[in-house]
Amino acid sequence: MNEHSIFMRRCMELAEIARQRGDSPVGSVLVLDGQIIAEGIEGGKTHRDITYHAEIEAIRQATEKLSSQDLSACTMYTTHEPCIMCSYVIRHTRISSVVMAITTGDIGGSSSAYPLLKDITIKKWGPPPELIELTS
- Cite the active site residues: 55
Contact 89, 50 (CB under 8 A): no
Q: How far apart are CA 104 and CA 94, in angstroms?
A: 21
What are the backbone dihedrals phi and psi of residue 60, each rounded to the nearest 5 degrees, phi first? -55, -45
Characterize the bridge pairing of strands 27-32 and 35-41: antiparallel
Angstrom distance (rounded) from CA 93 to CA 70: 5
Distance CA 37, CA 95 (A): 13
